[in-house]
Copies of this chain bind each other. A is one copy, B any other.
Amino acid sequence: MPAPIDFYFDFSSPYGYFAAQKIDAIAEKHDRAVNWRPILLGAIFKITGSRPLVNMPLKSDYAARDMSRLARLLGVPFTLPAGFPIATQAAARAFYWTQQRDPRLARELALALYHAYFADGRDISDPETVVDIAAGLGIDRTQLAAALGDSAVKERLKNEVDAAIARKVFGSPFIIIDDEPFWGVDHLDQVERWLATGGW
């Protein structure tokens, strides 16, 4: 079986949320596993000098419209949250801590966190909210709450973000197939074609 593909995303990224609904099915069709890798766009934007689309002159209205339009096209529930974007350290740390124990459960948690934020408008920057959502999937509340403040877990996330930057990941979603990078949910058709053909 060929190497897994890398799926980088930020929990505050609508386009990451949309891609998260699709990426496993696309990869599975071509016998690939997906390595889910939450990152922190805030740290990356400090390097690129980017800002969230919704904070940009001229672009903000378009961005909100494009997100809603794409959500309708994909049939994915979506409301741009009142607080947007948000810090996603707690969500990402919860993911990596869970992944070390149960990768499948970590993916379920990622989808649940995304849904809570973009469909239900819950503030997943709040560690207590993250723990609540995880507990709903049977994850131990006390252990996770402790893990979110644990220095090893913080370090793990920091290392993931640094490694992503070293690979020149600069947005969300960002997918790497055998060192070939694809940025944006708009590139999922190219991702699928690359997996099917081995490149062009």
Contacts and interface: CB of A to CB of B under 8 A. Distances in A.
Interface stretch (A21-29, A52-60, A93-101, A147-155): A52-60
Nearest to A183: B62
B57 A49 contact: yes
Contact of A59 (B48, B187, B189): B48
A140 interface: no
Interface in A154-200: 165, 168-170, 181, 183-184, 186-187, 189-190, 193, 200
Copy total for this chain: 2
Most buried by B among A51, A65, A168: A168
A170 B58 contact: yes
Contacts of A170: 56, 58-59, 62
A49 B56 contact: yes
Contact of A186 (B65, B69, B72, B184): B184
Given A69-B200, A200-B69, A58 B165 contact: yes
Interface residues of A, number: 31
Interface of A is mostly: helix
Contacts of A165: 58
A31 interface: no
A82 interface: no
Contacts of A69: 190, 200
Task: List 8 A-B pairs, minimum CB-CB distance, nearest first.
Answer: A186-B186, A58-B170, A58-B168, A48-B58, A59-B170, A72-B200, A48-B57, A47-B57
8 contacts: A44-B58, A48-B56, A49-B51, A49-B56, A56-B170, A59-B168, A61-B168, A186-B186
